Structures are given as C-alpha cells and as structure tokens.
Structure 1
Amino acid sequence: MHSFNLLKKAVTAAIALCLWAIVPTADGATWTITYPRPIDESDARAQYPIALLKLALDKTGVNYELRPSDRILMTGKAMRQLRENREVNVVWSMTDSQREKELTPIRIPIAKGLIGFRVFVINKERKSKFDDVLSLNDMRKLVPIQGEEWPDTKILQANGFNVFTVPEFREGYDMIKQGKGDFFPRSVMEVGAELEEEGRRTRLYLEPSMALYYPTAMYYFVNGNNKILENLIQTGLNRAIEDGSFDALFESTYAPILESLDVNKRKIFTLENPLLPIETPLTNSALWYKVEQQ
C-alpha cells in the first residue's frame, strides 16, 4: 500500500467561487479547475486521479490551478453538481449509459479498467462460506454489499446477485463488521487503502483466492457545455499516452498493489456489463489492463 503514499500531494484548501475562472497573470490566463474534495485530504484513492489529471494538464502547456471543492462531495452528489455547473467542473467516476447521457466523458479509462476488477472484503467469521465456491453459480448464492447509486449494483443485479445496498462505502464496511451481507466487492484500486483505514484488528478479512471482473471504465467527466476543458483533458491524456508518462504513472501506482493482492493466482469470475456504453474503447488494448484468467 506504500505506493499510494508516494502519490500523496498537498492540495490547496481554498476554492474559487467560479467553476472555470480566468485569472490574469503576467504569463497570461490561469484556468481554475475544481474537483470534488475527498472525505480525507490524504485519501489514497484520490491521489492517482489527481496526479493523472495534473499530468494531463501539464502536457497541454496551459496555466492552471487545480483545487478541491469547498466541501466534501461524494460521487453521486459531485456528479449532480457537475451536471448543474455548481462547485466542481471535473469529476472522475465509473461510467454507465446514464452518466454519459447527462455528462461528457473523456473516454480514456484513467486506471485501465481496474475499477471493474473486484476482490472481496468479508467478515472473518464467514470465511467458511467461500470454501465451496467453485463457480459463478456458487458465487450468486452469496449476498454482496454495494452502494445505492453505484453502477456496480445494477451490474451485479443483472448477473443474478441479490445485492444489499448502503448509502455510501463506509457503511458497507460497517455492514460487513456486523455480519450483514456476505462480501463487499471492492476494486483492487481501493481495497488496500480502505482496509488500512478501517484497521486490520477488526473482523474484516480480505478473501485471498477469488475476484470478480466486469468490463468498465473510470473516466474524467465534465459538463456537456465545457468543451474547452474536455479538449484540454483529452489532449493531455493522449500526449501522456504517446510519450509513455501515462503508463509510467499507472505502473508506479498499481503494479505493487496488484502484486500484493496476488491477482495472477486468483480465480476470476467474469460478469457481463449491460450498462457499458457502446462507445467504450474496448478494442484499444493499450488502454486496458489485461486480466489474466485462471
């Protein structure tokens, strides 16, 4: 999990009242770009998207200031505010058809699809329930916990799971601790930092041998009317891909995490994703992490 700490950077606490401001400077205009403030400024899950966004903007050569919103915004609220041109002008989140109708996605998966690669946080007292899971049908007999507004919930339901929903992810951990639900599928991007925060002296346990995978992408989203920001991020990401700096940041962040989770030794159950928009660039292999099937 130490790789997350390498990406932790200080961010300013102030926020511009405007969402896409131009501030005169000696060198020209400075673009103020506001993203959702995480629950904790040191939240490791936010460090990679912020670092990649900074990398992309640096590639464009524009003067910019990257700021967190004035208040903490969970994903659902942040996307509603973005849709209404309030508080933020860029959000990163897992995509689905509805989100792409309401907002403009930059269709470059910022974490190469790892958001759909899920390992299971379970209650230690329920470890035996996974001993006889040999197939996806066996897995469907167990109850996963997911967020009420998450695309993941609909994906799991579409694949035959009876999903127990909670308002936000921390309540999912509370449910597992209380023995409600059987497992909390968390992305390999998220689980290490979350378990570190929740503490390993609790009843939480990371199931060591299985994973779920469904094709999906985490994108940067902007308001449909903000074509300038859309073009800036798109251009910057493409330049970072071309010069190798995108891959370098991805590898330095996630290679140690994937190794620590023994992803190549896990039995991976693949799900269909009926929410995946047809525009998703699945055929461009350079944009995706290849999940090795056992």
Structure 2
Amino acid sequence: MKRRPLMLMLVSAPMWARAGAPLVFPMHEPGRESHWRYLLAVLKLAAERADTDHEFLESQEPMTQARVIRELSGRTGRLDLAWTMTSIEREQQMIPIRVPVDRGLIGCRIALVRREHVGRWAELRTPEQLKRFTAGQGADWPDTDILRDNGLPVQTASRYEVLFDMLRRGRVDYFPRAVFEIDDEAAGGLAQDLIIEPHVLIRYPAASYLFVRPDRPQLAADLERGMEAAVADGSLQRLFQRYFGDLITRHRLSQRATIPLRNPLLPPATPLQRPAYWLVF
C-alpha cells in the first residue's frame, strides 16, 4: 500500500511563507520511528519558539543519506531541510543550525551482535581491543570514516537492511547503532537472532543538526533562533528527557565500559564549549 506523505502544520505568525508551498523533509528511515517522532517534535518546538507559521511535508520516497545530502545541497533539489550528523563537508554544502538536536547522543553507540558472541565483549576496554572485531556500516555514513580513522576494521553495504544479514552470516562481528535507534531495530524483523550487547559503550564527540538548503538563509536564521530559545528556556532539554530519559537509564550508559574514539569529521565550529547543548551522564 502506498504511503501518504505526512503533513505537519506549525501555527503562529507568518514568517517562512513561500507562496504557501510546504517545506519538504526526508521520509523517515525504517526502524527509526521513535527517533523520527522526536525530530518532528524538535522541528515543531523550534518553529514555535521562533514564532513562525508554515507547513512541513514529508518526502514521498525513501532516500539514502547520500541522496539526502545531494537533494539538500543542490539548488534544484527536492528537499528544504533535514536532520543529520554534522561533518566538515556537510557544513560546507548546507547551512547548519549548530544546536545539537540530540544533545550529542548520536555519538553514543552500542552494538547489535550475535547472541553466541556476547561473552567476547565483557572485557573490552580500549580501542585497541576493539580492533579485533569488524564493524558493519553503511557505505555513505559519516560513522564509517570515524571508525576507520580510529583504525577499526569496517565492512560496508550500500543498503541498510543488508547489514543485519551480514552480521547474522558472520561477515561482520557487530553493528554499532546510536542508542536511540537500537531498541526499534532489535524489536523489528531485520534483527532476528541478534541481541543488544550489554557491556560496552563506544563514544565519540558528534552532533546531529537541522540542516537547511543553501538558498534558504532566512529559514536557517529562524530555525536557529527557535532552537536557541528552546535551549534557553529548557524546553529542548525537557523534550529530550521525555523521549530518551528512560532509554538512557535502561541501557545503563553510565555503567558501561566506555571506549572513546576521536572524530576527525567534527567541524571546528562545533559548540563544545556550550554545556547546555550536551548530554552528561
């Protein structure tokens, strides 16, 4: 059955009107419904805090990350805004709203593994020990370059769903996932016979931003104003806690052995000096 595009109406004083045309954002990825609902709530919150009025429309076809970037960075693309992990290259191609929508949680990774291999992870403590295992990643994901820059073996696939089969068949040893992704995935059919590894947290500095196409500077300015206001009044932090507080507790992030990695893709302008932007546990 063909999906109907989602229309999100944000009501307040008119500021973004573009002859009534809705602003288009990417269709959500399978297995990430909870995170997607949070991102829609962030978008609505930013618009409310910026005192704006516009319609937002979900695109009608799924897109890889590479396709999203192409559509958003080109002036003739079919997207107006998206949310994705930042990188030096992406900030050169699009306009970043440098307020992390996920408070840096995208850099907190736990792994899907085969059940019989859980015991191998119990004593892992360092990046050097992690090099014994091969990660599965998407070919166009920034995380792939981050892992490789840290000397970690990686096998890639162009299609997300193939990575689960690669793990089941032993072509890779683990599939590192953002904390907010892994529950939906583990409960879905793609992760059959795979489990969430309970001991290790792989962590690197990272941020997901709202990005706007380069010919929409006023939209970017309004979104930035709204996001800053949401941080200042605490509403973004409360929204984050409502969606992810139980998840962070359930996966015992503060009690896991943390393996720190560097992120060579992190832009110099990343606001690491703004503690209100970032999750601490």
TM-score, normalised to structure 2, is 0.90
Extract unaligned runs of 5+ from structure 1.
Answer: 1-9, 14-19, 24-29
Alignment of 1:283-294 (within 5 A): 283-291=273-281
Question: Is the 8 Å Cα contact of residues 95 and 217 (structure 2) preserved in structure 1?
Answer: no
Q: Please name the residue that 1:253 is paired with.
A: 243
Alignment of 1:269-280 (within 5 A): 269-280=259-270
1:236 Cα deviation from its structure 2 partner: 0.7
Alignment of 1:195-210 (within 5 A): 195-198=186-189, 202-210=192-200
Extract unaligned runs of 5+ from structure 2.
Answer: 9-15
Describe the shift of the 1:244–1:114 C-alpha distance in structure 2 as closer, same or farther (beyond 3 A): same
Q: Please name the residue that 1:12 is paired with.
A: 7
Q: Please name the residue that 1:113 is paired with.
A: 104
- The CA distance in 2 between the partners of 1:230 and 1:45, in whole Å, is 22
- The CA distance in 1 between the partners of 2:264 and 2:125, in whole Å, is 24
Question: What SS is found at the alignment partner of 1:185?
Answer: strand
Q: Please name the residue that 2:83 is paired with.
A: 92
CA-to-partner distance for each residue in 1:211-236, whole Å, 9 max, x for gaps? Answer: 10000110111112211110111011
More divergent stretch after superposition (174-183 vs 129-138): 129-138
Describe the shift of the 1:115–1:31 C-alpha distance in structure 2 as closer, same or farther (beyond 3 A): same
Describe the shift of the 1:284–1:259 C-alpha distance in structure 2 as closer, same or farther (beyond 3 A): same
Describe the shift of the 1:134–1:84 C-alpha distance in structure 2 as closer, same or farther (beyond 3 A): closer
Q: Please name the residue that 2:150 is paired with.
A: 159
AA in 2 matched with 1:169: Y
2:211 pairs with one of 200, 204, 221: 221
TM-score, normalised to structure 1, is 0.86
CA-to-partner distance for each residue in 1:234-272, whole Å, 9 max, x for gaps? Answer: 011111112221111000011011111111210001001
- The CA distance in 1 between the partners of 2:198 and 2:216, in whole Å, is 44
Q: Please name the residue that 2:49 is paired with.
A: 59
**Is 1:123 aligned to 2:114, yes or no?**
yes
- The CA distance in 2 between the partners of 1:250 and 1:43, in whole Å, is 15
**Is 1:234 aligned to 2:224, yes or no?**
yes
More divergent stretch after superposition (120-129 vs 102-111): 120-129
Question: Is the 8 Å Cα contact of residues 144 and 183 (structure 1) preserved in structure 2?
Answer: yes
- The CA distance in 2 between the partners of 1:127 and 1:251, in whole Å, is 29
Question: Is the 8 Å Cα contact of residues 56 and 237 (structure 1) preserved in structure 2?
Answer: yes
Describe the shift of the 1:116–1:168 C-alpha distance in structure 2 as closer, same or farther (beyond 3 A): farther
Question: Is the 8 Å Cα contact of residues 109 and 176 (structure 2) preserved in structure 1?
Answer: yes
Q: Please name the residue that 2:135 is paired with.
A: 144
Alignment of 1:42-57 (within 5 A): 43-57=33-47
Question: What SS is found at the alignment partner of 1:72?
Answer: coil
Question: Is the 8 Å Cα contact of residues 31 and 184 (structure 2) preserved in structure 1?
Answer: no
**Is 1:22 aligned to 2:29, yes or no?**
no
Question: Is the 8 Å Cα contact of residues 35 and 88 (structure 1) preserved in structure 2?
Answer: yes
More divergent stretch after superposition (220-229 vs 128-137): 128-137
Question: What SS is found at the alignment partner of 1:48?
Answer: helix
Alignment RMSD, CA only? Answer: 2.0
